[in-house]
Amino acid sequence: MTCREVAEVLHDYVSGELDDSENGEIFRHLQNCESCRAKARQMQELRTRIRDLLRTPAPGHLRARVLSLRSE
């Protein structure tokens, strides 16, 4: 695969949405391409940060305010 082809499906690769064949092709490309490997690593780090943010509970005062607005 070329870097351009990998770039088109890198999000799907990082998200685990590709079939085994496509997954293997990209894996092999990443073993030999530092640039694409860095992009995949950045994308995975971003996904992890977003997931962590979604797990962080809102501060109590904000939660109370939102709930009070919902009941109005």
- Along the 72 residues of the chain, how does pLDDT read in single tens digits? 899 999 999 999 999 999 999 999 999 999 999 999 999 999 999 999 998 888 888 888 988 888 888 876
Which residues, in sequence order, are CB contacts of 29 under 8 Å at separation 6+? 1, 3, 6, 36
Per-residue confidence (pLDDT) for residue 71, from 0 to 100: 77
* Domain coverage including residue 23: 3-70
pLDDT value, residue 33: 98
On whether the CB atoms of residues 26 and 18 are closer than 8 A, the answer is: yes
What's the structural domain count of the chain? 1
- The CATH number of whichever domain residue 19 belongs to comes to 1.10.10.1320
Written as six digits, the tokens of 69 are 């607005």
pLDDT of residue 27: 97
pLDDT value at residue 47 = 94
Three-class secondary structure of residue 2 per DSSP: coil
